[in-house]
Chain A
Amino acid sequence: MDPWLLITIVLGFAMAWAIGANDAANSMSTAVGAKAITPKQAVVIAGLLEFTGAYFFGKSVTETIRKGILNPTMITDPNVLIYGSMAALLAATLWLVIATKFGLPVSTTHSIIGGIVGYGIVYAGTAIVNWGKMGQVVLSWILSPIIGAFMAFLVFKAMTRSIFETKDPVRNARIWSPFWIGLAFVVIGTMFYIKVLHGGDLKTGVMMYGLPAGVVTFIVTYLLIRLRFRSADPLINVESIFKKAQLVTSSYVALAHGSNDVANAIGPVAAVYAVATMGLSGMQVPVPRWILAMGGLGITIGVATYGYKVMETVGKKITELTNTRGFTIQFSAATVVLVSSWLGLPISTTHVVVGAVIGVGLARGVKAINKDIVRDIIISWFVTVPVAALISAAIFKILMLVG
């Protein structure tokens, strides 16, 4: 095997590990924090479903230059693609490891974009970068959390208004809990079509997957609650209903994440693979399944080795999150990500989740949020692309000199 390909595979594996350590833990932390799942369960769910998502539903065709950030016609030397991909992977991995160390939820997609932009600029100057695309990425830093906060605010208000604020919360919980959980499944079903099966048409997704999933869930939940809804305290009872719903939403988050984000780790690997085996650097390359499997494995190991630690601390330390709030955050985040991918807006799940947490806080749902940490998180988002780009640029320069 080509030694460069071997090194890139190792780097891709490292990147997948970092994705597992950083992202998977972040996307499941609200469920763990709300005590809907234990840290151990979270690791098992995330491990299994991230791998399933990555291996079975990961895109078997991967764009060599992530999301068309660089102009591919300007890269004629295949070596540039090899060194560049390595530099981008290494830079993104390093940044993710640093961010994870400090507990900052940064976007893995933005990290790899930063890495790609970094080597692109060193190689061919700023003209190679598709600045329109870059503008969208920057816009997403601002839009994702704001829309996430807005959505979570509305969902939380609507949930409390339909259940807690009524004359008879217990009775209303019987009808409205299945409704909200059903609605969440409309989103999940549609998302499954778009994110996991990589379908393109929103209407097909809603009609074929979303609505049937939602209706079935509504009926099942409604009947289950009829059978086992006894306690007189609406607060405790509603929480127990949403606790079970969160188990499913968390599983979904892991599956979608695996199928979608594995591309961040194996995209560059696929590019090098194409050069090594076919000697060309086309836009679209078929990815052999074993590379997907390797990505999935990397993410799973990341979850098991580092993510576990994160989820354990989250489970022990967050006591301020109830199940309805955890559900609100996950449901809102999923909805926002779905609508944005339909509108073509670049949006990061991690950013939306943070926004949603703040939205529930603004709706006076979370008792206290640390403003300083919010500031740190936002700063970390703004530096992700530049930092990854700088590291990548430096590594690329060195590789070009040595190689």
Chain B
Amino acid sequence: MQVWTKLFAKSPFKPLIKHSEVVLNTVETLERALQAWERGDYEEMKRLAVEVDRLEDVADRIKEEIRDSLSSKLMMAVAREDVLIYLHMQDKVADAAEDTAKWLLVKKPGTIPAEIKEIIIQMGAESIKAAKLVHKAIVQMDRVIESGFSENEIKAEYEIIHEIEGVESKIDGLDTKLMQKVFEMADEMSWGDGICILNVARTLSNISDKAKDAAERIRLMMNK
């Protein structure tokens, strides 16, 4: 064994990027499931929701691998705690997508007003944006380190973080709107459909919530 190969420990950033790719994939699959749900294609929705579950498992495994390799014996360019909490949050994005898929699976949808469906689809589209931005943010973080924490790259990273925060507040708005709509149109739905739809909305807004938390951690990484 040669000391030079051991001295430079494996950095967690490439695996973090790989993890975020899987997370993005999970959210994208969920969006397709939501679209199938909107069309009323229940079989396709079920297939995709199961796929979401599988992808979330893959993300979990990568997460465990990264955790195992991040020993406290490393001297890193960013704080180890920030990396671990970031990873946790990034993984929660996939978890939230899986939760949504579960709510889609538990109940065969009855008649849901098109207005409500539309808001859900919008929320799904925004969630994708959030997941994409998280991926972009971690790729950019790698660049920040490559450039030796240059001002320009840090600025670009802050812009991505702001975008994520923007998406999150947009989803929050949609979430509130949806809740109001559900109670306005309570008579047009069964109570079961109502509960299901409210939970789909809650878990969907969770996706961007966790994305925001992840972005928050990246901010801290830059201020070590």
Contact = CB atoms under 8 A, between A and B. Distances in A.
A318 to B, nearest CB: 5
**Majority secondary structure of chain A interface residues (helix, strand, loop or mixed):** helix
Contacts of B224: 364
B152 A165 contact: yes
Which one of B7, B73, B77, B224 has the greatest number of beta carbons of chain A within 10 Å?
B7
Given A160-B147, A164-B148, A368 B76 contact: yes
A103 interface: yes
Contact of A160 (B1, B3, B6, B150): B150
Given A366-B77, A371-B74, A318 B3 contact: no
Interface in B1-49: 1-13
B150 A371 contact: no
Contacts of B12: 367-368
Contacts of B4: 26, 29-30, 33, 103, 105, 310, 314, 318
B136 interface: no
A310 B148 CA distance: 28
Interface residues of B, number: 30
Contacts of A165: 147-148, 150-152
Contacts of B6: 103, 370, 373
B146 interface: yes
B148 A318 contact: no
A182 B33 CA distance: 60
B8 A364 contact: no
Interface residues on A, range: 35 or more
Contacts of B78: 364
B76 A318 contact: no
A323 to B, nearest CB: 11
B149 interface: yes
A367 B150 contact: no
Contacts of B10: 320, 368
Contact of A364 (B2, B3, B9, B145): B145
Interface of B: 1-13, 73-78, 143, 145-153, 224
Interface of A: 25-26, 29-30, 33, 102-105, 156-157, 159-160, 164-167, 169, 235, 310, 313-314, 316-318, 320-322, 324, 354, 357-358, 361-374, 376-377
